A and B are shown apart, each in its own frame.
Chain A
Amino acid sequence: MDGPLVQVSGLKKSYGSIPALRGADLEVRAGERYGLIGPDGAGKTTLLRILCGLVVSDGGEVRVLGHDPVTETHKIKDGIGYMPQRFSLYPDLTVAENLRFFADLYRVPAAQRESRTARLLEFSRLGPFRDRRAGALSGGMKQKLALSCTLVHTPQLLILDEPTTGVDPVSRGEFWDILDELKAEEGVTQLVTTPYMDEASRCDRVQLMYQGSSLAEGSPAEVAASFPGRLVRVYTADPYAAAGSLKRTGKFQSVQLFGDRIHVVVEPAQAAVPGVMAIVAQIRQILEQAAIPFTDLHEARPDLEDIFVQRIGEITND
């Protein structure tokens, strides 16, 4: 179809008194991979469920493949494949039986079903396990089977809700390789949610979501470039002590802990006056005075995670 596959504007949904979506907007174009990025409770799952017609919104416009998912559910079902966050296949049926079941429910003709199943098993490398019960598969294989079942009717639009959460890193990588193959070979439009920033960078466009609304949208590079100011990364064996002593000086707008490293945000105005190099030197001096060892200290390009922290900081400061 022409035009965007998904169009959402001003979408609202509350569960009781708890708002899940506060006026969300979304546009997914044909052939792209769109990522909804955000922590738990951002409203990503609710948004996807509304698109599939599983949840009725409280207000706003929704069009999926040009139809209203509530009143015209049956018109969109053949065109979308939805993979929920939780494994939702029959654990007591085998890989082949699950695939056959969903193929038949989607009325895939027998001849097509055979070739499609063969292709999906090849794609997912589940061929050797076709007679194994789904419940006995590993976490990564389960996700690949779930993906295969949502693809069995060759949908235009694939909707994936945190497909790799709880999956080991190797399987995660494999899963995303499959998504890449699908996009390249079949041109399937993909709408994916993920809490992982490295996965977000594999999307064509992303939207950062937080508490039911959008923080930023664009290609991962665009979004990262929208970071105001500069960033200095400090790698240290004792990040807590380092962050503490940097904060105590009161010279930096924002000092954030990221596991074994610290991000020091340098405001645009500050960055221009003494120069980033001077600030790096200043940080070095503070840490040396406090006798806190560090392994590396350099200016860095902000990534999606930095944008996230910065935007959330803006909201909470307001």
Chain B
Amino acid sequence: MHACRRKALPALLLGLLLGAGSAVVQAADYVPVPAGSLRSVLVSDADPGPVAVASYAMRATPVTRAEYAAFLAAQPQWQRETAPLVFASPGYLAHWGAAADAGASASLTAPVTEVSWFAAKAFCASEGGRLPSWVEWEYAAAADATRADARDDPAWLARILGWYGRPADGPLPAVGGAANFYGVHDLHGVVWEWVDDFNALLVDADSRAGDDPDRLKFCGAGAISFKDRANYAVLMRIALLSSLKAADSTSSLGFRCVRAEGATP
């Protein structure tokens, strides 16, 4: 079915699509997130207190398929056929058409997924940004519509869990759900998101025995360390990220970028 639809698409549409995509990239909306401190789910052994977070600006929405298609047109080395395997393993854009074809127009406003960490990093660089650190992501995601840290509210937790409980077999919704306290959309309920330091969520700096001991520490982790009941919902994000290598991608993993506050591409 997919292939038939793709063939039926005239080349004209592809051109339109890329044009539209370029416009969106330039208009990418970043909102300021002021400095503060975060009681992270990941607790420091040296300092168990809150983590200081410097101010930054975060993309208001995850990167969409249209935006990513425009990026591919500008940087064809990241197209599926040309991206090196070491940067993008075989799942990369697996459900896209040839080259930079993002598919049916209905899905253009959905978050891009099937993107490797390397590719996400390159995208963010292309608009003068970078991937957020885990703590930056967690800091922004702790908010609900009216509060900077809503994690003690069962409704906040219920919303996250609701998404975990839905199977991922349907098409992704368009970006632009309700804005949170900072004006950031869709941190929960649409896709997982890459973070810059995803790899450090597991790697032990002192480990000399490769990744195996630390993987064991993670696997079977579960309920033991929950400081509060909300933590496990966030920990599932870490579980997902820690199962991946930087060249990997999945059909429910997207990304967004951050940059220094006030910066422009």
A and B are interacting partners: no
